[in-house]
Structure 1
Amino acid sequence: MHEVDYMKMEQAVTMILEAIGEDPAREGLIDTPKRVAKMYAEVFEGLHEDPRQYFETVFHENHDEVVLVKDIPFHSMCEHHLVPFFGHAHIAYIPRDGVVAGLSKLARAVETTARRPQLQERITSTVANAIMDMLNPVGVYVVVEAEHMCMTMRGIRKPGAKTMTTVARGIYEHDDIKRSEILSLIKM
Protein backbone atom coordinates (compact mmCIF):
# COMPACT_ATOMS: atom_id res chain seq x y z
CA MET A 1 0.00 0.00 0.00
CA HIS A 2 1.26 3.46 -0.89
CA GLU A 3 1.93 5.78 2.03
CA VAL A 4 0.57 9.32 1.75
CA ASP A 5 3.15 12.07 2.36
CA TYR A 6 1.07 14.51 4.42
CA MET A 7 4.05 16.76 5.17
CA LYS A 8 4.82 17.24 1.49
CA MET A 9 1.18 18.09 0.74
CA GLU A 10 1.08 20.59 3.63
CA GLN A 11 4.22 22.27 2.31
CA ALA A 12 2.74 22.44 -1.19
CA VAL A 13 -0.49 24.04 0.06
CA THR A 14 1.51 26.55 2.09
CA MET A 15 3.50 27.42 -1.03
CA ILE A 16 0.30 27.86 -3.07
CA LEU A 17 -1.12 30.21 -0.44
CA GLU A 18 2.09 32.23 -0.44
CA ALA A 19 2.21 32.23 -4.27
CA ILE A 20 -1.25 33.82 -4.54
CA GLY A 21 -0.26 36.51 -2.02
CA GLU A 22 -1.98 35.05 1.05
CA ASP A 23 -0.52 34.80 4.53
CA PRO A 24 -0.52 31.13 5.59
CA ALA A 25 -0.03 32.29 9.20
CA ARG A 26 -3.32 34.21 9.14
CA GLU A 27 -5.81 32.89 11.72
CA GLY A 28 -8.24 31.36 9.21
CA LEU A 29 -5.42 29.69 7.25
CA ILE A 30 -3.17 28.32 10.01
CA ASP A 31 -4.54 24.76 9.79
CA THR A 32 -5.59 24.90 6.13
CA PRO A 33 -2.54 23.00 4.82
CA LYS A 34 -3.28 20.14 7.28
CA ARG A 35 -6.97 20.10 6.35
CA VAL A 36 -6.23 20.11 2.62
CA ALA A 37 -3.68 17.29 2.99
CA LYS A 38 -6.18 15.19 4.92
CA MET A 39 -8.87 15.92 2.31
CA TYR A 40 -6.61 14.98 -0.62
CA ALA A 41 -5.64 11.71 1.08
CA GLU A 42 -9.35 10.86 1.35
CA VAL A 43 -10.37 12.10 -2.10
CA PHE A 44 -7.56 10.15 -3.79
CA GLU A 45 -7.77 6.97 -1.69
CA GLY A 46 -8.70 4.86 -4.75
CA LEU A 47 -5.45 5.69 -6.55
CA HIS A 48 -3.74 2.39 -5.76
CA GLU A 49 -6.82 0.15 -5.78
CA ASP A 50 -8.09 -2.06 -8.58
CA PRO A 51 -11.86 -1.98 -9.12
CA ARG A 52 -11.74 -5.58 -10.35
CA GLN A 53 -11.26 -6.66 -6.72
CA TYR A 54 -14.99 -6.16 -6.13
CA PHE A 55 -15.87 -8.84 -8.64
CA GLU A 56 -13.70 -11.61 -7.23
CA THR A 57 -16.70 -12.97 -5.32
CA VAL A 58 -19.61 -13.86 -7.58
CA PHE A 59 -22.92 -15.63 -7.21
CA HIS A 60 -24.62 -18.11 -9.49
CA GLU A 61 -28.23 -17.29 -10.13
CA ASN A 62 -30.59 -18.46 -12.83
CA HIS A 63 -30.79 -15.00 -14.38
CA ASP A 64 -29.91 -14.15 -17.95
CA GLU A 65 -31.59 -10.78 -18.41
CA VAL A 66 -30.40 -7.22 -17.75
CA VAL A 67 -29.06 -6.19 -14.36
CA LEU A 68 -29.08 -2.40 -14.07
CA VAL A 69 -27.94 -0.23 -11.19
CA LYS A 70 -28.59 3.40 -11.99
CA ASP A 71 -28.02 6.76 -10.35
CA ILE A 72 -24.84 5.73 -8.52
CA PRO A 73 -23.54 9.04 -7.15
CA PHE A 74 -19.81 9.74 -7.36
CA HIS A 75 -17.33 12.57 -7.16
CA SER A 76 -13.85 12.79 -8.58
CA MET A 77 -11.11 15.29 -9.32
CA CYS A 78 -10.27 16.41 -12.84
CA GLU A 79 -6.67 15.44 -13.48
CA HIS A 80 -6.16 18.53 -15.64
CA HIS A 81 -7.12 21.16 -13.04
CA LEU A 82 -7.50 19.24 -9.74
CA VAL A 83 -11.00 20.57 -9.25
CA PRO A 84 -14.03 18.36 -8.61
CA PHE A 85 -16.48 16.83 -10.98
CA PHE A 86 -19.47 14.89 -9.81
CA GLY A 87 -22.50 13.07 -11.09
CA HIS A 88 -24.07 9.66 -11.50
CA ALA A 89 -23.06 6.39 -13.09
CA HIS A 90 -25.44 3.83 -14.56
CA ILE A 91 -24.22 0.26 -15.06
CA ALA A 92 -26.02 -2.48 -16.96
CA TYR A 93 -24.86 -5.97 -17.75
CA ILE A 94 -26.33 -9.22 -18.98
CA PRO A 95 -24.99 -12.18 -16.99
CA ARG A 96 -23.46 -15.16 -18.77
CA ASP A 97 -24.23 -18.58 -17.29
CA GLY A 98 -25.95 -16.96 -14.31
CA VAL A 99 -22.77 -15.30 -12.95
CA VAL A 100 -23.78 -12.15 -11.05
CA ALA A 101 -22.02 -9.77 -8.68
CA GLY A 102 -23.41 -8.25 -5.52
CA LEU A 103 -25.18 -5.03 -6.47
CA SER A 104 -23.12 -2.93 -4.05
CA LYS A 105 -19.99 -4.10 -5.85
CA LEU A 106 -20.98 -2.10 -8.93
CA ALA A 107 -21.17 1.06 -6.81
CA ARG A 108 -17.87 0.21 -5.10
CA ALA A 109 -16.15 -0.16 -8.48
CA VAL A 110 -17.37 3.31 -9.48
CA GLU A 111 -16.25 4.80 -6.13
CA THR A 112 -12.76 3.28 -6.28
CA THR A 113 -12.27 4.31 -9.89
CA ALA A 114 -13.43 7.88 -9.22
CA ARG A 115 -11.21 8.42 -6.17
CA ARG A 116 -8.06 9.40 -8.05
CA PRO A 117 -7.01 12.22 -10.37
CA GLN A 118 -9.26 11.22 -13.22
CA LEU A 119 -11.03 11.78 -16.50
CA GLN A 120 -14.71 10.97 -16.87
CA GLU A 121 -14.01 8.96 -20.00
CA ARG A 122 -11.56 6.79 -18.06
CA ILE A 123 -14.03 6.14 -15.23
CA THR A 124 -16.54 4.91 -17.80
CA SER A 125 -14.16 2.55 -19.58
CA THR A 126 -12.38 1.32 -16.43
CA VAL A 127 -15.64 0.24 -14.81
CA ALA A 128 -16.89 -1.44 -18.00
CA ASN A 129 -13.58 -3.25 -18.52
CA ALA A 130 -13.45 -4.46 -14.90
CA ILE A 131 -16.91 -6.00 -15.22
CA MET A 132 -16.07 -7.60 -18.58
CA ASP A 133 -12.77 -8.98 -17.27
CA MET A 134 -14.15 -10.44 -14.08
CA LEU A 135 -17.75 -11.48 -14.83
CA ASN A 136 -17.45 -12.30 -18.54
CA PRO A 137 -21.03 -11.14 -19.15
CA VAL A 138 -22.85 -11.21 -22.47
CA GLY A 139 -22.51 -7.43 -22.47
CA VAL A 140 -21.86 -4.35 -20.35
CA TYR A 141 -23.12 -0.82 -20.87
CA VAL A 142 -21.89 2.01 -18.66
CA VAL A 143 -23.19 5.58 -18.79
CA VAL A 144 -21.61 8.35 -16.71
CA GLU A 145 -23.03 11.86 -16.51
CA ALA A 146 -21.25 14.59 -14.60
CA GLU A 147 -20.85 18.28 -14.01
CA HIS A 148 -17.26 19.50 -14.14
CA MET A 149 -16.19 22.39 -11.94
CA CYS A 150 -13.39 23.14 -14.41
CA MET A 151 -16.20 24.25 -16.76
CA THR A 152 -18.25 25.91 -14.01
CA MET A 153 -15.86 27.94 -11.89
CA ARG A 154 -13.16 28.74 -14.43
CA GLY A 155 -12.64 28.89 -18.18
CA ILE A 156 -15.96 28.97 -20.00
CA ARG A 157 -17.98 29.26 -16.72
CA LYS A 158 -21.09 27.32 -17.71
CA PRO A 159 -22.71 25.95 -14.54
CA GLY A 160 -25.17 23.14 -15.08
CA ALA A 161 -23.53 21.84 -18.26
CA LYS A 162 -23.40 18.05 -18.08
CA THR A 163 -21.02 15.70 -19.84
CA MET A 164 -22.19 12.19 -20.73
CA THR A 165 -19.88 9.33 -21.61
CA THR A 166 -20.81 5.79 -22.57
CA VAL A 167 -18.96 2.54 -23.03
CA ALA A 168 -20.51 -0.51 -24.67
CA ARG A 169 -18.93 -3.94 -24.46
CA GLY A 170 -20.07 -7.32 -25.75
CA ILE A 171 -23.57 -7.44 -27.20
CA TYR A 172 -24.11 -3.73 -26.53
CA GLU A 173 -21.39 -2.79 -29.02
CA HIS A 174 -23.49 -3.82 -32.01
CA ASP A 175 -27.07 -4.25 -30.82
CA ASP A 176 -28.86 -0.90 -31.10
CA ILE A 177 -32.08 -2.35 -29.66
CA LYS A 178 -30.31 -3.59 -26.51
CA ARG A 179 -28.60 -0.19 -26.08
CA SER A 180 -31.91 1.63 -26.54
CA GLU A 181 -33.50 -0.63 -23.91
CA ILE A 182 -30.85 0.39 -21.35
CA LEU A 183 -31.13 4.07 -22.17
CA SER A 184 -34.91 3.97 -21.75
CA LEU A 185 -34.55 2.18 -18.40
CA ILE A 186 -32.05 4.81 -17.22
CA LYS A 187 -34.51 7.60 -18.10
CA MET A 188 -37.33 6.00 -16.06
Structure 2
Amino acid sequence: MNDVQNYIEELKQLSKGNLRICRMNWWLLKYEDEFKEAINQTSCKKWARWLYKGEHPYPCVCPKRDNLCVFIDLYRELDRLTQIQHLENYFEEKFNNFQVIKDSGDAIMKWMRDIRPTISEIYLTLDKNENLKVRFYNSDPILEVNINKSDYKYTLLCLDIFNYNMYVRGM
Protein backbone atom coordinates (compact mmCIF):
# COMPACT_ATOMS: atom_id res chain seq x y z
CA MET A 1 0.00 0.00 0.00
CA ASN A 2 3.04 2.24 -0.19
CA ASP A 3 1.85 3.13 -3.67
CA VAL A 4 -0.80 5.58 -2.41
CA GLN A 5 1.62 8.45 -2.91
CA ASN A 6 1.95 7.37 -6.56
CA TYR A 7 -1.85 7.30 -6.90
CA ILE A 8 -2.04 10.83 -5.53
CA GLU A 9 0.76 11.98 -7.83
CA GLU A 10 -1.06 10.48 -10.80
CA LEU A 11 -4.17 12.45 -9.87
CA LYS A 12 -2.16 15.64 -9.54
CA GLN A 13 -0.79 15.05 -13.04
CA LEU A 14 -4.33 14.47 -14.34
CA SER A 15 -5.44 17.72 -12.74
CA LYS A 16 -2.79 19.94 -14.35
CA GLY A 17 -4.86 22.93 -15.40
CA ASN A 18 -8.09 21.61 -13.88
CA LEU A 19 -9.43 18.13 -13.22
CA ARG A 20 -12.35 17.28 -15.52
CA ILE A 21 -15.13 15.02 -14.31
CA CYS A 22 -14.28 12.30 -16.87
CA ARG A 23 -10.69 12.07 -15.56
CA MET A 24 -11.92 12.17 -11.98
CA ASN A 25 -14.31 9.29 -12.64
CA TRP A 26 -11.55 7.33 -14.39
CA TRP A 27 -9.18 7.78 -11.43
CA LEU A 28 -11.88 6.79 -8.93
CA LEU A 29 -12.72 3.66 -10.89
CA LYS A 30 -9.06 2.75 -11.34
CA TYR A 31 -8.31 2.98 -7.60
CA GLU A 32 -11.58 1.74 -6.11
CA ASP A 33 -10.07 -1.53 -4.86
CA GLU A 34 -7.03 0.27 -3.45
CA PHE A 35 -9.37 2.67 -1.64
CA LYS A 36 -11.15 -0.21 0.12
CA GLU A 37 -7.85 -1.92 0.87
CA ALA A 38 -6.45 1.31 2.35
CA ILE A 39 -9.45 1.56 4.67
CA ASN A 40 -8.73 -1.92 5.99
CA GLN A 41 -5.00 -1.18 6.43
CA THR A 42 -5.08 2.25 8.07
CA SER A 43 -4.52 2.51 11.80
CA CYS A 44 -7.27 5.14 11.93
CA LYS A 45 -10.45 3.13 12.49
CA LYS A 46 -12.77 6.04 11.64
CA TRP A 47 -12.68 5.03 7.97
CA ALA A 48 -13.76 1.45 8.64
CA ARG A 49 -16.58 2.71 10.85
CA TRP A 50 -17.60 5.08 8.04
CA LEU A 51 -17.49 2.45 5.28
CA TYR A 52 -18.94 -0.52 7.16
CA LYS A 53 -21.19 1.10 9.76
CA GLY A 54 -22.16 4.36 8.07
CA GLU A 55 -20.73 6.54 10.85
CA HIS A 56 -19.80 10.12 9.96
CA PRO A 57 -16.00 10.48 9.74
CA TYR A 58 -14.87 13.47 11.73
CA PRO A 59 -12.07 15.64 10.35
CA CYS A 60 -8.58 14.43 11.01
CA VAL A 61 -6.80 16.15 13.89
CA CYS A 62 -3.44 14.46 13.38
CA PRO A 63 -0.62 17.01 13.13
CA LYS A 64 0.75 15.10 10.12
CA ARG A 65 -1.51 12.71 8.29
CA ASP A 66 -0.63 9.20 7.29
CA ASN A 67 -0.52 8.82 3.48
CA LEU A 68 -3.24 6.16 3.64
CA CYS A 69 -5.60 8.61 5.33
CA VAL A 70 -4.75 11.33 2.80
CA PHE A 71 -5.53 8.93 -0.05
CA ILE A 72 -8.79 7.78 1.58
CA ASP A 73 -9.93 11.33 2.29
CA LEU A 74 -9.02 12.47 -1.22
CA TYR A 75 -10.82 9.54 -2.81
CA ARG A 76 -13.90 10.11 -0.66
CA GLU A 77 -13.97 13.84 -1.45
CA LEU A 78 -13.65 13.26 -5.19
CA ASP A 79 -16.38 10.64 -5.02
CA ARG A 80 -18.60 13.19 -3.27
CA LEU A 81 -17.90 15.68 -6.05
CA THR A 82 -18.92 13.15 -8.68
CA GLN A 83 -22.20 12.63 -6.84
CA ILE A 84 -22.80 16.38 -6.88
CA GLN A 85 -21.95 16.50 -10.58
CA HIS A 86 -24.69 13.90 -11.22
CA LEU A 87 -27.13 16.64 -10.15
CA GLU A 88 -26.00 19.03 -12.88
CA ASN A 89 -29.04 18.31 -15.10
CA TYR A 90 -31.35 18.89 -12.13
CA PHE A 91 -29.68 22.25 -11.46
CA GLU A 92 -29.80 23.22 -15.12
CA GLU A 93 -33.57 22.68 -15.03
CA LYS A 94 -33.86 24.68 -11.79
CA PHE A 95 -31.74 27.48 -13.25
CA ASN A 96 -33.93 27.65 -16.36
CA ASN A 97 -37.03 27.69 -14.14
CA PHE A 98 -35.54 30.56 -12.15
CA GLN A 99 -34.95 32.58 -15.31
CA VAL A 100 -38.69 32.41 -16.03
CA ILE A 101 -39.82 33.42 -12.51
CA LYS A 102 -36.98 35.74 -11.38
CA ASP A 103 -39.25 38.82 -11.27
CA SER A 104 -41.89 37.24 -9.01
CA GLY A 105 -41.15 37.25 -5.28
CA ASP A 106 -43.73 34.55 -4.53
CA ALA A 107 -42.44 32.29 -7.28
CA ILE A 108 -38.84 32.78 -6.08
CA MET A 109 -39.90 31.77 -2.56
CA LYS A 110 -41.48 28.58 -3.94
CA TRP A 111 -38.36 27.93 -6.06
CA MET A 112 -36.20 28.30 -2.95
CA ARG A 113 -38.40 25.93 -0.92
CA ASP A 114 -38.20 23.36 -3.71
CA ILE A 115 -34.42 23.55 -4.14
CA ARG A 116 -33.47 23.98 -0.47
CA PRO A 117 -33.31 20.27 0.51
CA THR A 118 -30.88 19.56 -2.32
CA ILE A 119 -28.85 22.75 -1.85
CA SER A 120 -28.46 22.07 1.87
CA GLU A 121 -26.67 18.79 1.09
CA ILE A 122 -24.08 20.44 -1.15
CA TYR A 123 -20.93 22.25 -0.26
CA LEU A 124 -18.24 23.21 -2.71
CA THR A 125 -14.99 24.91 -1.78
CA LEU A 126 -14.03 27.92 -3.84
CA ASP A 127 -10.78 29.74 -3.23
CA LYS A 128 -10.36 33.54 -3.26
CA ASN A 129 -10.01 33.45 -7.05
CA GLU A 130 -13.27 31.51 -7.39
CA ASN A 131 -11.51 28.28 -8.36
CA LEU A 132 -13.07 24.99 -7.27
CA LYS A 133 -10.58 23.08 -5.12
CA VAL A 134 -10.03 20.07 -2.94
CA ARG A 135 -7.42 20.98 -0.33
CA PHE A 136 -5.95 19.16 2.66
CA TYR A 137 -3.73 21.30 4.87
CA ASN A 138 -2.58 18.64 7.30
CA SER A 139 -0.82 16.55 4.70
CA ASP A 140 2.85 16.96 3.92
CA PRO A 141 3.08 18.71 1.55
CA ILE A 142 -0.34 20.42 1.46
CA LEU A 143 -2.45 18.53 -1.05
CA GLU A 144 -4.44 20.63 -3.47
CA VAL A 145 -6.39 19.52 -6.54
CA ASN A 146 -8.03 22.03 -8.88
CA ILE A 147 -11.40 20.94 -10.23
CA ASN A 148 -12.84 22.17 -13.52
CA LYS A 149 -15.70 24.53 -12.62
CA SER A 150 -17.41 24.15 -15.97
CA ASP A 151 -18.50 20.63 -14.97
CA TYR A 152 -20.49 22.29 -12.13
CA LYS A 153 -21.79 25.32 -14.02
CA TYR A 154 -25.49 25.08 -13.10
CA THR A 155 -24.80 23.78 -9.60
CA LEU A 156 -22.68 26.86 -8.88
CA LEU A 157 -25.23 29.19 -10.49
CA CYS A 158 -28.05 27.79 -8.38
CA LEU A 159 -25.94 27.97 -5.23
CA ASP A 160 -25.23 31.64 -5.97
CA ILE A 161 -28.88 32.42 -6.66
CA PHE A 162 -30.03 30.60 -3.55
CA ASN A 163 -27.43 32.22 -1.30
CA TYR A 164 -28.10 35.70 -2.67
CA ASN A 165 -31.86 35.39 -2.17
CA MET A 166 -31.51 33.74 1.23
CA TYR A 167 -28.78 35.83 2.82
CA VAL A 168 -28.75 39.14 0.93
CA ARG A 169 -32.44 39.55 0.15
CA GLY A 170 -33.57 37.67 3.30
CA MET A 171 -36.14 35.49 1.55
TM over 0.5, yes or no? no
Name the structure with the higher helix share: 2
User: With CA pairs under 8 Å and 6+ residues apart, which has the higher RCO, 1 or 2?
Assistant: 2
Give the number of the structure whose alpha-carbon radius of gyration is greater.
1
Name the structure with the higher strand share: 1
